[in-house]
A and B are shown apart, each in its own frame.
Chain A
């Protein structure tokens, strides 16, 4: 695979829910080692785009998803994760009555060669990850504790650590900093830099341009389900970006 082959490419992807068209003929590609910021107002279709990439939503007839230069048929979440895409969903996707270790390995449980769950290993890995990567020292964080006993930031920590564990080639973060403290936000932004350093890709969704701009290589603006802008960071200053975001919100068009 050369670096010109996108990790993931959407061709003509639309998504309609009954009467609502959440995505409209979206064409996007993400290259290896690239961090892409995805911007757009509430309801622009960012989360729908993420869930379509993950195979949770099936694109409308005619839309195609390509992974590393191959057209994917029968896309589903389990397959997407197996191929190396992990997502930190906006809604966290935790099962709160379950212990941390079950959440950490949700859908990708560790098994031994006879297919028996390796519960001991999942617990010890969960403990290691939580202390090494999230630096948790709170007494609430024991792998047997139910997620509902944790604070909002700690819950987000579980979702982030989970995405980190599987060494994904593409990590998608959907508004990961909402509700986090300053230090937790910094940890999350560091996490994105680590993805870049290790040559992997990420899609980063956030409402805060001051979080997005320094972290990414490229920015895609989504407006009412359409791609309204696609900028290399070298082609646009932060002020120009803010200006064009306002223009999109006002007029629905990126151009003057």
Chain B
């Protein structure tokens, strides 16, 4: 074990947190890579290929930390693990859908990444601070890109509006599942390692709801003075390993490539 964390933080819970970050990145990276050669315009084809590469690179950063905490190697984590052992949220596992869904999912995820990483900048764990600092720089480009697309497509034409609205309605309850409480997270919050999913979810709502609204897109929420009341229930279960079949198919595809060429690089 080459990375030590303060002794009052239970290692098992800390590792679970790192794993949830890693798996989200890896799985969404794979969904994004499915657009290579299929995006509606070349510019977006390149964009989503780049984003996929970034996300998979970020997964590697988190898996490296996981290994430094005494876990298996990144290769084993990505390519030799049972799908049931992933701890990603359901949200990143859904099929890529149409381009509107992809844009909306990426935007909702990018904001979640911003609030998660921003929160880690003040973590009591040095390693989390330096990783957050590193990834935040790259993730910011993703957000500028996806937010730009949401703002443009939200009310560009009646058809684009209709498709984007449908995507928001579908993706919103799924996205809330990003903030599913992790087993033992209260220990981490108490130790100042991270701010906790409840706080992150509220930061996320404060950011996404007005942006969607400005783009003429309605989120399933009710605004009550300072509070945002969510009217749908989140798609949870992923953080406990209760996954949808979609993840099984994705992991099969991903690992098949590895079995054919085990020396292939990230």
Chains A and B form a bound pair: no
Interface residues of B (CB under 8 A from A): none
Interface residues of A (CB under 8 A from B): none
